[in-house]
Amino acid sequence: MRDVSIIGVGQIPVAEHWDKSIREMGYLALSAAMRNAKVTVLDALYVGNMLSGELARQEHLGALIADFSGLRGVEAVKIEAACASGGAAMRMGYMAVASGLCNFVAVMGVEKMTDQQGPDITAGLAMAADGDYEALHGLSFVSINALLMRRYMHEYGYTKGDFANFAINAHANGVGNPNAMFRAPITFKAFSEAKSVADPINLLDSSPIADGAACAILAPTAIASEFSDKPIRVRASSIATDTVSLHDRREPLWLEAAALSASRAYDMAGVRASDISFFELHDAFTIMSALSLEAAGFAARGHGVRMAQDGSIGRTGKLPITTMGGLKARGHPVGATGMYQIAEVALQLREEAGPNQIANASLGMAQNIGGSGATVVTTILERIK
Amino acid sequence: MEVSRFWRTTKQRYQLIGEVCGHCGTKIFPPRDVCPSCDLEAKTPFEFGGKGEVFSYSTIHQAPAGFEKYVPYTVALVKLEEGPLITAQLTDVDECDVKIGMPVEMVTRALREDGERGMLIYSYKFRPVMESKSI
Ligand SMILES: [Zn+2]
């Protein structure tokens, strides 16, 4: 197996891009990444996307974006794993380069959500859940996370306000990210008074619906320095799965796939959780941040929320998270999110994160979660010095 | 909702028919053909009693398409007496009165009207257990 590195990244701002189609957004991120990597040809393009058929009325994104980007003829397919589609595309690209079958692979996440109305988007997102036994009963994706949050508060004795710092920290970091959707801080008061979406989850627990596209170019590490002054080595890449529905889980409050995916990644990289300098986690909802911190081994069960309360997660804390705003403030264009996380980890490791730069970042981890924890992709990246 | 899909899941939705594993005895709902406990095939039908307690709940204020007119409504994870968790709506209860651990029982109610076909979709919901009246 060959060692793999990221030789370029590209992204467009997360926003409501009413003036851009899904193919244009894909092209903009891809061309930016290819310029950044100084490559003009690719062996393959993997497009992570969840809802293009439902919300953008367009499938067949691999060929569509390849052609629109002037890459007609290239191998190109769409990869789908709900909200983990972007991370899953990264994993497919990693395997393609590591196996020796491909040298230059673009891995992209792209999502166009804002062409549709609220209830249709809500119904689309519910497709990440079990169609016959969750969505059929009127459960929104938010409400499934709300069931987790309520149970977590009940079992471990937290109040809703205890989760506030996840959102406050994400918004504080969004301020310094030019690609973030929300670039204004929020207060505890605003968090406490935000409108309920699915009790106990309110608007400020939740990441926003958005359009976006982000991309990375992968190549064998052996030739990476010919293309990039600061190649980023992929130390680990893993996917694990769990039951799609919450009711089928052994323990709903334990994200088994996140734990499995993280432990496989640690094994592959030969590191432990304590070696990770910063963590781009999947804060689709504040409860997911807590559960992800616990499953990845940064906090004991029931203690994830305490890391938000004691300042551990800030940019100068012991484990900075959502350093560019996370899903909450950067925005959550679902199938694109996993690749925004990868691009952001790469920027931190290249020391190109601007005002959000973390000191001494050497090993960064991203974790992209599909559904309420059914598909979890973990990626560990390192700056080659 | 497609008629065939509606028909396919009628037994589960009207009677809470799941499965029992012939190998390890685990009660399974929804039916899934392979036992989640021992990974062997489990195809023996089993009718659940419909009693359980609230494991968690949420009141929905922003509904998916098809459910907008029912807002707000309360959904729950219910722990059935026989073991499994089930996802369902709660009914006949004020959201303020719902508590984790509250005993509930299954009833059959309309879930929603299918806009295009005007078909009413019925399913299980759960309500607080009524005190049985002595005669
Ligand atoms: Zn069994």
- CATH number, domain with residue A99: 3.40.47.10
- Alpha-carbon distance of A206 to A240, in angstroms, equals 24
Residue among A74, A12, A14 at smallest CA distance from A40: A74
Which three-class secondary structure state does DSSP give residue A252? coil
Residue A227 has pLDDT above 90, yes or no: yes
Is A83 assigned a catalytic role?
yes
Average pLDDT along chain A:
97
Residue B122 touches partner A, C-beta closer than 8 Å: no
* Contact status, residue A26 vs residue A345, Cβ threshold 8 Å: no
Q: Could you tell me which chain A residue has the CA closest to the CA of B13?
A: A133
Amino acid letter, A198? A
Average pLDDT along chain B:
91
- Measured in Å, residue B52 CA sits from the centre of ligand 1 at 22
Q: Is residue A356 located within the same domain as residue A238?
A: yes
Q: Is residue A162 located within the same domain as residue A74?
A: no
Is A102 assigned a catalytic role?
no
Distance from CA of A60 to the nearest CA of B (A): 25
Amino acid letter, A284? A
- Alpha-carbon distance of A333 to A339, in angstroms, equals 10
Q: Is residue A153 located within the same domain as residue A68?
A: no
3-state secondary structure B81-112: CCCCEEEEEECCCCHHHCCCCCEEEEEEEEEE
All residues of chain B having their beta carbon less than 8 Å from the beta carbon of residue A151 are 55-56, 77, 100
Residue B133 has pLDDT above 60, yes or no: no
User: CA torsion angle for A321, A151, A126, B83 (degrees, to 10)?
Assistant: 130
Residue A133 touches partner B, C-beta closer than 8 Å: yes
Residue A348 forms part of a structural domain: yes
Q: Give the model's pLDDT for residue B118.
A: 75
What residues have CB less than 8 Å from A5, skipping those under 6 apart? A218, A219, A220, A221, A224, A228, A231, A232, A233, A234, A384
Contact B62 A140 (CB under 8 A): yes
Instruction: Give the pLDDT band (50/70/90) at residue B117.
Output: low
Region B11-30: what's the mean pLDDT? 93
All residues of chain A having their beta carbon less than 8 Å from the beta carbon of residue B112 are 138
Residue A130 forms part of a structural domain: no
Comparison of pLDDT for B48 and B95, the residue scoring more: B48
Instruction: Give the pLDDT band (50/70/90) at residue B120.
Output: confident
Is-above-0.95 flag for pTM?
Answer: yes
- Model confidence pLDDT, tens digit, residues A38-71: 999 999 999 999 999 999 999 999 999 999 999 9
Number of independent structural domains in chain A? 2
Residue B31 touches partner A, C-beta closer than 8 Å: no
Q: Is residue A82 located within the same domain as residue A169?
A: no
Q: Give the model's pLDDT for residue A230.
A: 96
Lowest mean pLDDT among A40-44, A169-173, A362-366, B5-9: B5-9
Q: Is residue A225 located within the same domain as residue A238?
A: no
Region A315-324: what's the mean pLDDT? 98
Comparing CB atoms, the residue among A138, A154, A243 nearest residue B70 is: A138
Give the up-direction half-sphere exposure of residue A9: CA atoms within 13 A in the CB hemisphere.
24
Q: Is residue A75 located within the same domain as residue A185?
A: no
Residue among A55, A31, A19, A8 at smallest CA distance from A333: A55
Q: Testing the interface with B: which of A120, A147, A148 to mutate, by most B Cβ within 10 A?
A: A147
Residue A129 forms part of a structural domain: no
Q: Is residue A175 located within the same domain as residue A275?
A: yes
* Domain housing A101: 4-117+210-232
Residue A349 forms part of a structural domain: yes
Residue A45 forms part of a structural domain: yes
Q: Is residue A214 located within the same domain as residue A239?
A: no
Q: Is residue A24 located within the same domain as residue A44?
A: yes
- Alpha-carbon distance of A60 to A53, in angstroms, equals 9
Residue A122 forms part of a structural domain: no
Residue B131 has pLDDT above 80, yes or no: no
- Measured in Å, residue B26 CA sits from the centre of ligand 1 at 5
Instruction: Give the pLDDT band (50/70/90) at residue A322.
Output: very high
Q: Is residue A145 located within the same domain as residue A222?
A: no
- Measured in Å, residue A10 CA sits from the centre of ligand 1 at 49
Residue A131 forms part of a structural domain: no
Q: Testing the interface with A: which of B7, B14, B33, B60 to mutate, by most A Cβ within 10 A?
A: B60
Q: Give the model's pLDDT for residue A89.
A: 98
Computed from CA positions of residues B16, B22, B26, B30, in that sequence, does the dihedral angle turn out positive or negative? Answer: negative
Q: Give the model's pLDDT for residue A280.
A: 98
Residue A128 forms part of a structural domain: no
Q: Give the model's pLDDT for residue B2.
A: 74
Q: Is residue A283 located within the same domain as residue A307?
A: yes
Contact A198 B60 (CB under 8 A): yes
Q: Is residue A253 located within the same domain as residue A317?
A: yes
